[in-house]
């Protein structure tokens, strides 16, 4: 379950940013998790909830934004939403020629005090 180690890294990143900005606390953190990122968003959120005790994020509002996968079909040129990496075009059943979204896993913002 790599979501646990990712949650630790997010907490560490938040701690480093707070120290860099001489902030006493973090009020809010927003994390983007793409459906095609390989990160199970619910497991990541659960791991983060367990690990924030006694950390800089203990009292922060934690926002996890899920972004859908997006693919473009080379055969019919349709752009479509993908819930998983091996999804096929709903129009012609071909695999997408490119994936243009949903692979993100990143801290989007931190609000410090």
Model confidence pLDDT, tens digit, residues 63-111: 999 999 999 998 999 999 998 888 999 999 999 989 999 999 999 999 9
Is residue 28 very low, low, confident or very high in pLDDT (cuts 50, 70, 90)? Answer: very high
Q: What is the pLDDT of residue 16?
A: 96
> Left, alpha or beta for 102 (phi > 0: left; psi -120 to 50: alpha)?
left
Model confidence pLDDT, tens digit, residues 14-25: 999 999 999 989
Average of per-residue pLDDT across 21-50: 95
Q: Count other Cβ atoms within 10 Å, centred on residue 59.
A: 10
Nearest-5° angle of CA 22, CA 10, CA 32? 110
Across 20-49, b (16+ Cβ under 10 Å) vs e yields eeebeebeebebbbbbbbebebeebbebbe
Kindly report the pTM of this predicted structure: 0.87
**What CATH number was assigned to the domain covering residues 2-112?**
3.30.2320.80
Query: Where do the structural domains in the chain lie, given as residue ranges?
Result: 2-112
């Amino acid at each position: 379950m790599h979501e646990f180690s990712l949650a630790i890294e997010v907490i560490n990143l938040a701690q480093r940013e707070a120290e860099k900005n001489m902030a006493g606390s973090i009020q809010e953190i927003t994390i983007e998790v793409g459906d095609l990122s390989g990160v199970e968003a619910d497991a990541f959120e659960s791991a983060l909830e367990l690990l924030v005790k006694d950390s800089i994020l203990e009292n922060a509002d934690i926002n996890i934004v899920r972004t859908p996968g997006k693919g473009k079909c080379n055969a019919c040129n349709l752009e479509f939403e993908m819930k998983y990496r091996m999804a096929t075009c709903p129009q012609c059943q071909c695999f997408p020629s490119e994936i243009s979204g949903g692979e993100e896993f990143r801290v989007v913002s931190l609000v410090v005090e």
